Amino acid sequence: MAGLIAGTALDPLITGSLLWLVTRGPEKVRARIIERLAASPFGVEGPKKILKVLVVIGVIRRVNQILNNWSYRNWQVSYSGRPWIWRDEVAVVTGGSGGIASAMTRKLAATGMKIALLDLQAPPADIAALSNVHFYHCNITSSASVHEVAAAVRKDLGVPTILVNNAGTGAPYTIIDIPDEALETTFHVNLMSHWYTVREFLPGMIKARKGHVVTVASMASYVGVAGMADYCSTKAGALSFHETLTQEIRHRYNAPFISTTAVHPHWVKTAMTAPLESNIRKKGDGMMTAEYAGGEIAAAILSKQGGHLILPRSSIAMRLGTALRGMPSWINSAVNDGGKDIIRF
């Protein structure tokens, strides 16, 4: 609802039309509006000033959106790659047996594209039953394993043009208490694996003159939560990886036809967050379903354009959360303090 109200109030076509009616519209219409405003507690001039401010904000917001979308296209005036034909495309999804991946896979599979799921666990039965979905047992924390599986995917399905680095994990420990094994697993799954997969699949995208690399990060890219240092650190790193990858694609490989998308979900109801659900809800935070998150990521891929996806889309608070790093320290600290009881020991 908040998103709908903001979208209406900040739409310059709506506020601009209203302002025009009040100031320059047909005389009969203008006279009737002014008569009603004059009889209200707000008077005539107050609403006019508010509309003028909303028009200015709306225009700035619209220009910002246009520039954002242009940057997501790597500043191309028009797409310079080869056309997308979904039935001919191959998508690789890491952590392919999880809830978000399953929802995303259903949406992508419906287009006819071939999908390679990389995981240690087999996907749910309904996903495995899809004729264009193929499971590959892969340890993404091992460069050698990823290399071996990537060769098998190319041989079996063709050259992948879509890569979704979706796999994620975390360990509920303090910085002092976390075992080396748990720490290394989180860093390899959430961060190092991105190097392994991109090294394998990006060259094929460059040669094919089309591609899309999706980095599933988190709102934890922007905040620190006590007891989640491993997770927050790797998700901040994933965002940095995405930004640098975008620069290298544009300036080192001269491949602006390859899109990149960073995804930042808030709390998603999955097996990994199940032990935290009670504490999350006590804090007053909502949890989105894996179906919603996976569906939104699939929609972003099918849009054929890169981006910066904040989930849930309707949350203004989440969008503002991405600005935390640039806010005064006391604001950043207060927001981080809000999550101090999510992880309890």
The reply to whether 344 falls in a domain is no
> How remote is the C-alpha of 179 from its chain's centroid?
30
pLDDT of residue 236: 96
Same domain, 39 and 172: no
- The enclosing domain of 312 has a CATH number of 3.40.50.720
Q: Which residue has the tokens 């009603």?
A: 36
The reply to whether 210 falls in a domain is yes
pLDDT in tens, 257-277: 999 999 999 878 877 777 776
Total structural domains in the chain? 2
Angle 224-228-282 from CA coordinates, rounded to 5°: 85
39, 73, 107: which is the final residue of a domain? 73
Same domain, 121 and 51: no
231 assigned to active site: yes
The reply to whether 92 falls in a domain is yes
51, 73, 95: which is the final residue of a domain? 73
Same domain, 183 and 63: no
Same domain, 264 and 136: yes
210 assigned to active site: no
- The residue with greater pLDDT, 326 or 241, is 241
The reply to whether 294 falls in a domain is yes
pLDDT surpasses 80 at 1: no
Amino acid making up residue 274:
A
Same domain, 37 and 104: no
The reply to whether 78 falls in a domain is no
pLDDT in tens, 38-93: 778 777 788 888 888 888 999 998 999 899 889 988 999 889 999 999 999 999 99
Its domain, for residue 60, covers 1-73
Of 114, 173, 222, 235, catalytic: 235
Buried b (16+ CB within 10 A) or exposed e, 122-155: ebeeebeeeebbbbbebbbbebebbeebbeebbe
Of 173, 210, 231, 269, catalytic: 231
Whether 33 and 48 have beta carbons less than 8 Å apart is answered as: no
pLDDT of residue 123: 93
pLDDT in tens, 216-259: 999 889 988 888 899 999 999 999 999 999 999 999 999 999 99
Beta carbons within 8 Å of 15's beta carbon, 6+ residues apart: 9, 51, 54, 55, 58
CA 103/CA 69 separation, integer angstroms = 26
Per-residue 3-state assignment (H helix, E strand, C coil) for the chain: CHHHHHHHHCCHHHHHHHHHHHHCCCHHHHHHHHHHHHHCCCCCHHHHHHHHHHHHHHHHHHHHHHHHHHHHCCCCCCCCCCCCCHHHCEEEEECCCCHHHHHHHHHHHCCCCEEEEEECCCCCHHHHCCCCEEEEECCCCCHHHHHHHHHHHHHHHCCCCEEEECCCCCCCCCCCCCCHHHHHHHHHHHHHHHHHHHHHHHHHHHHHCCEEEEEECCHHHCCCCCCCHHHHHHHHHHHHHHHHHHHHHHHCCCCCCEEEEEEEECCEECCCCHHHHHHHHHHCCCCEEHHHHHHHHHHHHHCCCCEEEEECCCCHHHHHHCCHHHCCHHHHHHHHHCCCCCCCC
CA 171/CA 234 separation, integer angstroms = 12
Same domain, 46 and 153: no
Same domain, 118 and 35: no
Same domain, 41 and 62: yes
The reply to whether 80 falls in a domain is no
pLDDT of residue 283: 73
Same domain, 230 and 109: yes
Cis peptide before 312 (omega within 30 of 0): yes
The reply to whether 5 falls in a domain is yes
Amino acid making up residue 180:
D
Same domain, 90 and 69: no
Nearest to 228 by CA among 146, 93, 343: 343
CA 192/CA 155 separation, integer angstroms = 25
Q: Based on C-alpha coordinates, what's the Rg of the chain?
A: 23
**For residue 6, what pLDDT band results from cuts at 50, 70 and 90?**
low
Same domain, 91 and 67: no
Q: Which span out of 33-37, 160-164, 309-313 was modeled with the highest average pLDDT?
A: 160-164
pLDDT surpasses 90 at 186: yes
The reply to whether 104 falls in a domain is yes
Q: Which residue has the tokens 């302002």?
A: 19
Whether 118 and 93 have beta carbons less than 8 Å apart is answered as: yes
Same domain, 41 and 159: no
Q: Which pTM value belongs to this model? A: 0.88
Whether 255 and 206 have beta carbons less than 8 Å apart is answered as: yes
